[in-house]
Chains A and B, each alone.
Chain A
Amino acid sequence: MWIGLFFLGLFILIAFLGPSLSPFDPFEQNLKEGLAPPSPQHWLGQDKLGRDILSRILSGARISLWVGVMTVSISLSIGVVVGATAGLFGGWADEVLMRLVDVFLAFPGILLAIAFAAVLGPSLRNVILALSLMGWVGYARLVRGQILVAREEEYVTAARALGAGSFRLIRRHLLPNILAPVIVEATFGMAGAIVTEASLSFLGLGVQPPTPSWGAMLSDGRSFLLLAPHLTTFPGLAILFVVMTLNLLGDRLRDRLDVKSHTQLK
């Protein structure tokens, strides 16, 4: 887990300091040196417009971090409200909200994100919105399931007996106790959001040029696979590094929490 946290910290640092660390302006073109391979001046080479790939990858890190954090924040907020409402109140609220979740879940994978991105138009803000509109359902189901179990606990009965209203019950008693699996899900959710944003940009439905996005860089590099394989290699490695780090961290967090829950049961 510490390795995962270390690399995540490194990614966050690069994302924040990226523009300061970039050796060149990520938007500066040099058409005479288009498709140039890695060199002592341009460590990762140059793209078709002569822009420095390392600088664009460092700038792209900030985009990816922003997408990951904002998407998880928005979809988590929506998901917690919906899931908590459905789980605590039950009845028709639960039925209506869970049928809505089922409708969204009937759209597999990124299909809904593609549809939303097409409706909203390609831009960074709309990508985040599209991913959030797709991502809340997982959190809603998770929170609902956790609350269905937690609401039967004695501390909840005691809180109700002391006069706690529903809002207080959710905020002070239920949410803190169901936080752990939500954090695990959020870690995987961030990885998913970064890959999906890159997928949308790859398809031309996400971040638009000249803003550096790892997915768009990969898409541009596809036409020059034989001539300049570095155009696809380095952005791909960047995505792989970040997503592996988040997935590894999520795995370790889940293992830790499973061990804790087993200990508590004993």
Chain B
Amino acid sequence: MLPFRGFIKGVMVRLLIRRLLWAIPVVLGVLTLVFFLIHLIPGDPIDLMLGEQAAQADREALRKALHLDDPIPAQYGRFLSGMLRGDLGRSLRTGRPVSEMIAARYPATLQLAFSALLISLLIAVPIGIYSAVRPNTPADSGALFLSLLGVSIPNFWLGPLLILLFSIKLDWLPVSGRGGPAALILPALTLGIGMSALLIRMTRSSLLEVVRKDYVLAARAKGLPERAVILKHAFPNALIPLFTVVGLQFGALLTGSIITETIFSWPGLGRLTLQAIQSRDYPLVQGCILAISLTYLFANLLVDLLYAAADPRVRLLEE
């Protein structure tokens, strides 16, 4: 029998390998779906690059150079082998490597997503705890109403409202662009408020479940102050289910960034994706969608591992 720490490490390694193996057919499916989706987009990319008035000979030469005249299975095979080498092709519009364009924009989207996540936790956790320790009171109802409002308000409305108030009327914060911490506040708030609404409910229901446990009753029976009971005993255990929700919602943050980045002219991957779709830039669209999907898959994998690391019952189930 392995020593305890070695046993845990072994379980975690096996879990990681199992999840990675599961991810392979899913990633292959994502690549296939993206390839066929993009090739179904109406409109000829050659028109986009050369203009509709270009000579036929020039159009055919460019089509041949880009292998756009190959049969679809051949293009698919080239696409897959390129992916395996990390070659995402070149943008039809700018000629730059797609991987370079994505790498230039990716940090801005990650910065926005993580800032939104931080804001949502800072808003949701205190309100969720406050609501859970005062169940069925006006404070609890107020928190639930705020949660309902947050989940229902569309971010493409919230963003302009925040701009109107904080940038135009009060002139406290910049309207758009990326430059300094002040420019991050409104986009992160726009993106984070929806997620905070979900987390308020999750924190509340998770804490309500935990405070019914025997160890919480024991803590109270020992005479501990209520604050210590909640913050030191109940809350750390209530945090674990939040991991899963945060992981699943991280994907929503990534795609919500498409709209938020458009509203605030934030130079991130979301805005690049939309521009690529609007300009029929096949390789760039493929690359952007893949980058977002793979980030989401990786985030879910990380959450699964963190969950297993934090909760021994999950490790036992996995075994």
**What is the interface of chain A, defined by CB distance below 8 A to chain B?**
99-100, 102-104, 106-111, 114-116, 118-119, 121, 191, 195, 198-199, 202-205, 215, 218-219, 221-222, 225-226, 229, 232-233, 235-236, 239-240, 243-244, 247-248, 251
Is B296 an interface residue, CB under 8 A from the partner?
yes
B258 near A119: Cβ-Cβ < 8 Å? no
Is B124 an interface residue, CB under 8 A from the partner?
no
A108 near B157: Cβ-Cβ < 8 Å? no
A116 to B37, CA, bound (A): 7
Residues facing A in B144-173 (CB within 8 A) are 148-149, 151-154, 156-157, 160-161, 163-164, 168
Most B CB within 10 A of own CB, among A111, A121, A202, A232 = A111
Min CB gap B85→A, angstroms: 22
A99 near B26: Cβ-Cβ < 8 Å? yes
Please encode chain B, from 112 to 156, with 1 for each CB lying within 8 Å of some chain A CB and 0 for all others: 000000000000000000000000000000000000110111101
Which residue from chain A places its CB closest to the CB of B252 in the assembled complex?
Answer: A109
Please encode chain B, from 20 to 62, with 1 for each CB lying within 8 Å of some chain A CB and 0 for all others: 0000011101100110011011100000000000000000000
What chain B residues lie within 8 Å of A202 (beta carbons)? 156, 259
A100 to B40, CA, bound (A): 20
Is B262 an interface residue, CB under 8 A from the partner?
yes
Which residue from chain B places its CB closest to the CB of A111 in the assembled complex?
Answer: B255
Instruction: Choose among B29, B40, B149, B259 the residue that contacts A119 (Cβ–Cβ < 8 A).
Output: B40
A203 to B285, CA, bound (A): 16
What chain B residues lie within 8 Å of A108 (beta carbons)? 250-252, 254-255, 292-293, 296
A99 near B152: Cβ-Cβ < 8 Å? no
What chain B residues lie within 8 Å of A251 (beta carbons)? 148
A199 near B297: Cβ-Cβ < 8 Å? no
**What is the interface of chain B, defined by CB distance below 8 A to chain A?**
25-27, 29-30, 33-34, 37-38, 40-42, 148-149, 151-154, 156-157, 160-161, 163-164, 168, 250-252, 254-256, 258-259, 262-263, 273-274, 277-278, 285, 289, 292-293, 296-297
What chain A residues lie within 8 Å of B164 (beta carbons)? 225-226, 229, 232
What chain B residues lie within 8 Å of A121 (beta carbons)? 42
What chain B residues lie within 8 Å of A195 (beta carbons)? 154
Instruction: Choose among B33, B42, B149, B292 the residue that contacts A244 (Cβ–Cβ < 8 A).
Output: B149
B297 near A106: Cβ-Cβ < 8 Å? yes
A109 to B299, CA, bound (A): 14
- Give the top 5 A-B pairs by smallest Cβ distance, nearest first: A108-B251, A109-B255, A103-B29, A236-B157, A244-B152
What chain A residues lie within 8 Å of B33 (beta carbons)? 103-104, 107
Known contacts A107-B293, A111-B258, A204-B278; A240 and B168 CB within 8 A of each other: no
Instruction: Choose among B161, B168, B274 the residue that contacts A226 (Cβ–Cβ < 8 A).
Output: B168
A229 to B30, CA, bound (A): 41
Min CB gap A70→B, angstroms: 20
A114 to B273, CA, bound (A): 10
Interface of A is mostly: helix
B293 near A118: Cβ-Cβ < 8 Å? no
Min CB gap A131→B, angstroms: 14
Which residue from chain A places its CB closest to the CB of B286 in the assembled complex?
Answer: A115
What chain B residues lie within 8 Å of A222 (beta carbons)? 160, 263
A114 near B258: Cβ-Cβ < 8 Å? yes
A109 near B30: Cβ-Cβ < 8 Å? no
What chain A residues lie within 8 Å of B156 (beta carbons)? 198-199, 202, 215, 218-219
What chain A residues lie within 8 Å of B274 (beta carbons)? 114, 203
Instruction: Choose among A110, A111, A215 the residue that contacts B293 (Cβ–Cβ < 8 A).
Output: A111
Min CB gap B150→A, angstroms: 10
A19 to B254, CA, bound (A): 38
B154 near A99: Cβ-Cβ < 8 Å? no
B292 near A239: Cβ-Cβ < 8 Å? no
Instruction: Choose among A99, A106, A119, A215 the residue that contacts B296 (Cβ–Cβ < 8 A).
Output: A106
Given contact pairs A108-B252, A202-B259, A243-B154, a sample of 5 additional A-B residue pairs in the complex whose CB atoms are under 8 Å apart: A103-B30, A107-B293, A119-B41, A218-B160, A248-B148
A203 near B259: Cβ-Cβ < 8 Å? yes
What chain B residues lie within 8 Å of A235 (beta carbons)? 157
Instruction: Choose among A118, A221, A240 the residue that contacts B41 (Cβ–Cβ < 8 A).
Output: A118
Known contacts A202-B156, A225-B163, A243-B154; A115 and B289 CB within 8 A of each other: yes
A248 to B149, CA, bound (A): 10
Most B CB within 10 A of own CB, among A100, A215, A236 = A236
Min CB gap A80→B, angstroms: 22
Most B CB within 10 A of own CB, among A107, A219, A233, A236 = A107
What chain B residues lie within 8 Å of A114 (beta carbons)? 258, 273-274, 277
Instruction: Choose among B27, B258, B293 the residue that contacts A203 (Cβ–Cβ < 8 A).
Output: B258
A215 to B151, CA, bound (A): 17
What chain A residues lie within 8 Å of B149 (beta carbons)? 240, 244
A-B contact pairs, 21 of them (CB 8 A): A103-B33, A107-B30, A107-B292, A107-B293, A108-B250, A108-B251, A108-B255, A109-B252, A109-B254, A110-B258, A115-B277, A119-B42, A191-B152, A203-B258, A203-B259, A215-B156, A218-B160, A222-B263, A236-B154, A244-B152, A247-B148
What chain B residues lie within 8 Å of A221 (beta carbons)? 160
A191 to B154, CA, bound (A): 11
What chain B residues lie within 8 Å of A119 (beta carbons)? 37-38, 40-42
